Amino acid sequence: MTPMFRHGWRTCPLWTFLVVGAALWPAGCSQTSGTGIPPGTPMIRVLLLENQQRVNLSAAAPPTVQLAPGSPTRQLRFPPGVAVSVTLSSSGWQIGSASLGPGEMTLEPSVDGSLSVAEHSYRGRFRLIPVASDRFDVVNELDLESYLPGVLRSELYPNWHLETYKAQAIVARTYALYEARTEGIGRHFDVFCDQRSQVYGGLAAETARSRDAAQATAGIVVAFGAPGREVIFKSYFSSCCGGVGQSAADAFGDPQTPPLEAANHGNCCIASPKFNWGAIIIAKPELTRRIRAWGAWKKQPEKDIGQVTRIDIAAVNRLARPVRFIVTDARGVRYSLRSEQLHEALNTDAGNGVKLPSVFCKPIDEGTNIRFADGHGYGHGVGMCQWCAEEQAAQGWNDEAIVLTAFPGAKLVRAY
């Protein structure tokens, strides 16, 4: 029988966005404001650009600029459609011919979406935050519901079912909210705009389907816990699990979380071109270079690894998916890496070179090369598999059934 769960969403108190749960909320009641954004929708801070020396801005309508909270604002006169450069020096900001003072700078568009940064348009406002005397980060600040349509189309194919989009909206909303209330504390952004968090393409990535999916699920998140004390968690997702997922604990060293355990999905995502993939061969010197680069980036002992001689599977989960590997160098030193540490290391600084879709595979020593054979899946395989979600939607599952199957034991609740 096709799973078609009834919506039993709960509303959560506004005093927290980590613990959720209270009285039952009627299904289908969006409780949105006149603008379509639910009251109490939190803001999200998206890191668009890092460590920049120069960024080009263009505006369809004059934006305003403010250098400190509470300080006077001034309107910037941009030639319509003409790029104007922004730079930072010890004396302060320079925007085109206008010299401004030092400090953090906020740019507010006069019309939402009318200001473009590096040739890309986004909703919301922008904070330009100094990170050195002449370098700065660019952060896009906007409400969470306006952020999601620019994520959904960036993460899914345009012709996929609306129920897949709605499921992705719930999961992406939960992920962003969790990051904002955990990793975002103590830093000037909540999420990255790329695969380090979830891909965000701004206005250009929005479609009617991505907007409809966000609006239809506005405020809904996935949570786990006792009734009335449900807690949101880091709701991971990836492209294709290859039939077998892994737990967040095995993949990333996260605490054990029941909805994020390993799962057997069988052939659900077999339509993915990466469900099975052929052997990939990488020369050992190149593997060594990549692992050293990863070690230096992460400040791990692998930065000093000798010539890689072999990579072996050290442990598999209960479903036989590899979850830990041993990398041995020419000195006989052995390095133990979790699956996603190895995946990240083997793809670090790969440039245009070959990359591994996943480490759900078997590494084989071939003298000067390592052959990665019997490969399955694309990504880490934790949480919701997007290709599984699309297959389930094609079979008639609704968004709730898709999400709760991906995260066993969890519930859908209304966070705001």
Q: Lowest-pLDDT range, 29-43, 105-119, 328-342? A: 29-43
Residue 139 counted as domain residue: no
- 362-407 per-position pLDDT tens digit: 999 999 999 999 999 999 999 999 999 999 999 999 999 999 999 9
- Looking at the fold, whether 324 and 179 belong to one and the same domain comes out as no
- Looking at the fold, whether 35 and 182 belong to one and the same domain comes out as yes
- Looking at the fold, whether 118 and 161 belong to one and the same domain comes out as no
Residue 128 counted as domain residue: yes
- Looking at the fold, whether 396 and 370 belong to one and the same domain comes out as no
Q: Which of 76, 102, 133 is the last residue of a domain?
A: 133
Cβ–Cβ < 8 Å for 213, 155: no
- Looking at the fold, whether 94 and 63 belong to one and the same domain comes out as yes
Residue 288 counted as domain residue: yes
- 271-297 per-position pLDDT tens digit: 999 999 989 999 999 999 999 999 999
Range of the domain at 210: 10-39+146-235+384-414
- Looking at the fold, whether 35 and 97 belong to one and the same domain comes out as no
Helix or strand holding residue 313 (H, E): strand 308-316
Residue 350 counted as domain residue: yes
The average confidence (pLDDT) of the chain is 91
Cα–Cα distance between 94 and 73 in angstroms, integer? Answer: 16
Closest CA to 142 of 42, 64, 60: 42
- Looking at the fold, whether 83 and 111 belong to one and the same domain comes out as yes
Instruction: Say how many domains are in the chain.
Output: 3
Residue 49 counted as domain residue: no
Show the CA angle centred on residue 260, arms to residues 393 and 267, nearest 5°.
Answer: 40
- Asked if pLDDT for residue 234 goes beyond 80, the answer is yes
- Looking at the fold, whether 123 and 172 belong to one and the same domain comes out as no
Residue 253 counted as domain residue: no
pTM to 2 decimal places = 0.90
**Torsions phi, psi of 110, nearest 5?**
-75, -25
- Looking at the fold, whether 396 and 372 belong to one and the same domain comes out as no
Residue 265 counted as domain residue: no
pLDDT class of 18 with cuts at 50, 70, 90:
low
- Looking at the fold, whether 65 and 209 belong to one and the same domain comes out as no
Q: How far is CA 276 from the centre of its chain?
A: 24
Residue 259 counted as domain residue: no
Cα–Cα distance between 229 and 20 in angstroms, integer? Answer: 6
Token duo for residue 182: 């955990």
> Which pLDDT score, from 0 to 100, does residue 2 have?
47
- Asked if pLDDT for residue 7 goes beyond 80, the answer is no
- Looking at the fold, whether 216 and 286 belong to one and the same domain comes out as no
- Looking at the fold, whether 370 and 388 belong to one and the same domain comes out as no
- 45-99 per-position pLDDT tens digit: 999 999 999 999 999 888 999 998 888 899 988 787 789 999 999 999 999 888 8
